[in-house]
Amino acid sequence: MTLAQETPRRDKVARYAVRKIIRYRCRIESRTKHKTQNMKLLFALLLSVVPLLIGSASAYASELVAKQGPWATECTPNIGTARHSCRVVVRFPGSVSATVESFEYSLAEGTFIVTVAPAVSGLRAQVDESSPFFFNCSSGRCVLTQAGVLLDQLKSGDVLLLQYESQGQHVLDVSLDGFNEVYHRATTENASSR
> By mean pLDDT, which of 29-33, 115-119, 136-140, 187-191 is the weakest?
29-33
CATH number for the domain including 91? 2.60.40.1880
What pLDDT score does 41 carry?
A: 54
The residue-averaged pLDDT of 83-112 equals: 85
Residue 34, pLDDT score:
62
Taking 60 as the threshold, does the pLDDT of residue 52 lie above it?
no
pLDDT for the residue numbered 54? 41
Pick the range with the lowest mean pLDDT from 6-10, 18-22, 114-118, 187-191: 6-10
- Count of domains observed in the chain: 2
Burial class (CB in 10 A: 0-12, 13-18, 19+), 6: exposed
Per-residue pLDDT at 49: 44
8 and 98 co-located in one domain: no
* Statement to judge: residues 116 and 164 lie in one domain: yes
Long-range residue pairs from 133-141, CB within 8 A, at least 24 positions apart, any chain = 140/115, 140/116, 141/113, 141/114, 141/115, 141/116
What is the average per-residue pLDDT within 50-72?
65
Last residue of a domain, one of 22, 37, 59: 59
**Which range of residues forms the domain containing residue 42?**
1-59
Same domain, residue pair 49 and 74: no
- At 28 the pLDDT is 65
- Looking at the structure, do residues 140 and 186 belong to the same domain, yes or no? yes
- Residues 102 and 155 reside in one and the same domain: yes
Based on the fold, state whether residues 101 and 182 are members of the same structural domain: yes
Cβ partners under 8 Å of residue 1, min gap 6? 9
80 and 142 belong to one structural domain: yes
pLDDT winner (highest mean) among 18-22, 58-62, 118-122: 118-122
| Structural contact between residues 139 and 107, judged by C-beta atoms closer than 8 angstroms | no
Residue 80 shares a structural domain with residue 50: no
Q: Looking at residue 77, what is its pLDDT? A: 79
pTM of the complete model beyond 0.85: no
Last residue of a domain, one of 13, 29, 59: 59
For the chain, give the percent of residues with pLDDT over 90. 32
In this structure, the answer to whether residues 34 and 68 fall within a common structural domain is: no
pLDDT of residue 105: 94
